[in-house]
Amino acid sequence: MKIKTKSKKVNKAWLQDHVNDPYVKRAQKEGYRARAAYKLQEIDEQFGLIRPGQTVVDLGAAPGAWSQYLRRRLCGGAAGKAQDASIIALDILPMEPIEGVTFLQGDFREPEVLQRLEQALGGRRVDVIVSDMAPNLSGIAAADAARVAHLIELALEFASTHLQAEGALVAKVFHGSGYEELVQRFRQTFKIVKPIKPKASRDRSAETFLLGRGVKNA
């Protein structure tokens, strides 16, 4: 019973924080599916990543807040023409449709899913890849670090193959075991690498984002 009570207290505290979170309130007001949209917005505004006419791939897209933000940026607002956007979103979970976004459901770790993503691109080079992918965490540090590293490695391989020469990858990572190795792997792949902790990312969260720009040996 003690464990149950503690769990309820934690859940209640989280819910209270969530309800009072200014980014949650803003997301509800502005029609975003999640507060995560403001993490990508802050990164975009700081580094000028997203511009109309680009081809963008959104990995780990569900529930769709990043794809919503991308569509608004690529189409010039929430009511922009869908055909002006070129966004391909992918997630292992289902996602409600977003006009102007091509959604593929599947596991990015599976070769067949990667093949479907490549077919959707139709030979086009990608300008920006954004990745909010995260594995199911077990609480075992070494195992969780390995799962995170595997997803990042796959995203880096995809970026190396499909990005424009001056394209960019933004990927969520976690501070802790294996973090420095991931930064080093980014530096091996990109000319410019920047770690970013957006204001919209909760202080207590171990998440941060790595931006890689300009593919080496492209």
Peptide bond into 198 cis (omega under 30): no
- Tell whether residue 44 is among the known ligand binding residues: no
- Tell whether residue 14 is among the known ligand binding residues: no
Q: Could you give the CA distance from residue 155 to residue 57 in angstroms, rounded to a whole number?
A: 11
- Provide φ and ψ at 178, rounded to 5°: 90, -5
And the tokens for 92? Answer: 């292992």
Q: Could you give the CA distance from residue 76 to residue 85 in angstroms, rounded to a whole number?
A: 10
- Tell whether residue 91 is among the known ligand binding residues: yes
Helix (H, G, I), strand (E, B) or coil at 137: coil
- DSSP track, 101-126: EEEEES-TTSHHHHHHHHHHHTTPPE
> Tokens 């919503």 sit at which residue?
68
Single out the residue of 125, 126, 128, 108 nearest to residue 116, CA to CA: 108
Helix (H, G, I), strand (E, B) or coil at 171: strand
Q: Could you give the CA distance from residue 126 to residue 158 in angstroms, rounded to a whole number?
A: 10
Please say if 12 is a catalytic residue: no
- Tell whether residue 132 is among the known ligand binding residues: yes
Q: Which one of the listed residues 12, 172, 194, 197 is annotated catalytic?
A: 172
- Tell whether residue 203 is among the known ligand binding residues: no
Enumerate the known binding-site residues for S-adenosyl-L-methionine.
Answer: 64, 66, 91, 107, 132
Enumerate the known binding-site residues.
Answer: 64, 66, 91, 107, 132
Active site residues: 172
